[in-house]
Amino acid sequence: MMYETHILKNGLKIIHQHTSGKAAWCGLIIGVGSRDERAEEEGIAHFIEHVIFKGTEKRKAYHILSRLEDVGGELNAYTTKEDTCIYASFLAKDYERVVELFSDIVFHSVFPEKEIEKEKEVVIDEINSYKDSPGELIYDDFEELIYRGYPIGRNILGGEEAVKKIQRTDILDFVRRNYQPGRMVISSVGDIPFDRLVRLIERYFGDIQGYPSVLERKRPELYVPEERIVEMDTYQNHCIIGNVAYDYTEENRLPLSLLVNILGGTGMNSRLNLNIRERYGLAYNVEASYTTYSDTGVFTIYFGCDAGDLEKCRKLCHREMALLWDEPLGHRQLQKAKTQMIGQMTLASENYENMMLSSGKSFLIYDKVDELADIYEKIEEIDAALLQQVAGEIFAADKQSVLIYK
């Protein structure tokens, strides 16, 4: 699919993919997340994602939410460790409504004191409900374990006491420092001529002054594998085994993605699923994942099992990892793995909302978006020797940290 791009004078980037049909998708991605908070600002990036919808200079919260829902659209947002996104799905005829609303929310929010205090209770409820989901909480706690002492290790939601301390002046200062047009991308997928989209964005964003600013992120340098057991009084034991991995600039990130897919990807035929679940029936859910950041990455294996099966599951995980760096994949195994990954990527590309978000993030990071055909070609070029090398670097047993909830 062809992409069209443009950069406004203030640095804001635009990327668009034209599609036919009445539905459209658009997102404003800001390259600032929880790792960019100062020590005294814990949880503020995510908190702003909540209160940014609570009122602007010309709209109350109800009118913000109704602006798209009144015409059948949906407005949403999320925060990660490195970016914040406001995005919408809507009818293509309503593009101007969406672009104007994004501008109003991001650059003209007033953050009413009363709404801030109410939203603190909402976010604290979110934090507490997260504690009731150990299968999700363990991922954040694992990153805190391997990145101890670094901002990237902090939980995105922040802690209850930190959220209670957030004040309106803190919010305004964080937004002023970080919500700069030069750190933003507007990504669009829908039926609108690109020149018209650019004119709309220029109308509502062009006058916003951009100030040169550089994010100063503290790169995690020291990693010492560690094992930690947390008493959680859970029905199951939950376990993560993992290691630091390649960041999103390193060449070997694609071979590692292929390896992780073989080991414990979304397919039911992954090695971990076939072994731990299908062969032995030890766990309902076992999966491997790989997350990239700007200067680091995280490889993990997660499973939940009965307490008596914990050590057997751990041994099976280590055995499957060892097989990938002990023995090169045969030609048929390698081709099957490549075909599966290419098929999964093709199907995912048919989800236009995901496409809009991923292309916007790529343009924000790399100033380009690789065509699927180019990615497929790179996958086909991966050989067994390279996979074995990468597996040896990332899957080695002495490099793995372990976090267990009991």
Q: Is the pLDDT of residue 234 over 70?
A: yes
Q: What is the pLDDT of residues 31-69, one digit of tens each?
A: 999 999 999 999 999 999 999 999 999 999 999 999 999
Rounded CA separation 34/162 (Å): 13
Q: Kindly tell me the burial class for residue 129, based on how many C-beta atoms sit within 10 Å of its own C-beta (0-12, 13-18, 19 or more).
A: exposed
Token output for 38: 């100062």
CATH number of 227-405: 3.30.830.10
Residue-level pLDDT at 184: 96
Rounded CA separation 126/65 (Å): 20
Looking at residues 188-207, what average pLDDT do you find? 97
Q: What is the pLDDT of residues 372-391, one digit of tens each?
A: 999 999 999 999 999 999 99
Whether 227-405 and 4-205 are alike in CATH topology: the answer is yes
Looking at residues 341-357, what average pLDDT do you find? 94
Rounded CA separation 111/235 (Å): 41
Residue-level pLDDT at 212: 66
Lowest mean pLDDT: which of 158-167, 207-216, 268-277?
207-216
Q: Is the pLDDT of residue 213 over 80?
A: no
Rounded CA separation 85/370 (Å): 21
Q: Is the pLDDT of residue 20 over 90?
A: yes
Residue-level pLDDT at 337: 96
Q: Which of 331, 294, 297, 391 is nearest to 33 (CA)?
A: 294
Please give the angle made by the CA atoms of 92, 80 and 12, to the nearest 5 degrees: 50
Looking at residues 338-349, what average pLDDT do you find? 94
Q: What residues have CB less than 8 Å from 21, skipping those under 6 apart? A: 92, 190, 191
Q: Is the pLDDT of residue 1 over 70?
A: no
Residue-level pLDDT at 356: 96
Average pLDDT of the chain to the nearest whole number: 95
Rounded CA separation 107/388 (Å): 49
Rounded CA separation 405/114 (Å): 38
Better pLDDT: 109 or 371: 109
pLDDT band at residue 399 using 50, 70 and 90 as cut-offs: very high
pLDDT band at residue 218 using 50, 70 and 90 as cut-offs: confident
Dihedral sign from CA coordinates of 132, 134, 140, 146:
positive
Q: What is the pLDDT of residues 304-330, one digit of tens each?
A: 999 999 999 999 999 999 999 998 999
Q: Kindly tell me the burial class for residue 9, based on how many C-beta atoms sit within 10 Å of its own C-beta (0-12, 13-18, 19 or more).
A: exposed
Looking at residues 138-160, what average pLDDT do you find? 95
- How crowded is residue 233: how many other Cβ atoms within 10 Å of its Cβ? 7
pLDDT band at residue 131 using 50, 70 and 90 as cut-offs: confident
Residue 176 CA, chain-centre distance (Å), reads 24
pLDDT band at residue 130 using 50, 70 and 90 as cut-offs: confident
Q: What is the pLDDT of residues 241-253, one digit of tens each?
A: 999 999 999 999 9
SS3 call for 384:
helix
Q: Is the pLDDT of residue 123 over 90?
A: yes
Structural fold of domain 4-205: Cytochrome Bc1 Complex; Chain A, domain 1 (3.30.830)
Residue-level pLDDT at 352: 95
Longest dimension (CA), the chain: 64
Q: Is the pLDDT of residue 211 over 80?
A: no
Q: Which of 224, 237, 254, 258 is nearest to 375 (CA)?
A: 254
Q: Where are the domains of the chain?
A: 4-205, 227-405
Task: Give the percent of the chain with pLDDT over 90.
Answer: 92
Residue-level pLDDT at 233: 82
Count CA within 13 A, CB hemisphere, residue 68. 28
Considering the entire predicted model, what is its pTM? 0.93
Looking at residues 160-184, what average pLDDT do you find? 96
